[in-house]
Amino acid sequence: MDVAEADFLDVLNVHVTAAHALSRHVARRLLERDDGGHILLIASMASLIGLPQVSAYAAAKSALLGLTRSLAAEWSPRGVRVNAIAPGWIETPMLAQAMTADPARRDKVLARTPLGRFGATDDIAHAAVYLSSPAARFVTGACLAVDGGASIGF
């Protein structure tokens, strides 16, 4: 209720318009190559499940998944794969600060994460390496949730 339209649009511009512009720029180069390539976008668990207090962010990251699928449908026949990663709760200084300030929230998040822990930044890096590697040569238009199972349901 308290998110101003201008703020909502700013969030969309940062997460969707910028990703589209960058993807378009990179795709021009990749489509010229004989061996194609891969574009990897970063979504969020907020694009997979409803989270309170982040409606603009969730809308932007959900739109990013639509962009991922549409670009994959358009560019994959020409050799450019497009995928996304949806990180969950990952150990970062920002997460540590938020969870230290609200232990009840930390307990709630961990209780709703089947693996029972926060992820490491390496977990996202390994997913990115996989999706960008020949091992994923038949994967396009996909979103890989790296969230300890948090998005499968509570």
The catalytic residues are: 57
Q: Which of 69, 28, 67, 65 is nearest to 47 (CA)?
A: 65
Alpha-carbon torsion (51, 151, 97, 103), positive or negative? positive
Q: Which among 96, 84, 79, 94 is positioned nearest to 131, based on CA atoms?
A: 84
Distance CA 136, CA 134 (A): 5
Question: Which is nearest to 130 in space by CA: 90, 81, 88?
Answer: 81
Instruction: Give the list of residues 6+ apart from residue 87 with CB closer than 8 angstroms, or none.
Output: 42, 43, 44, 45, 119, 124, 146, 147
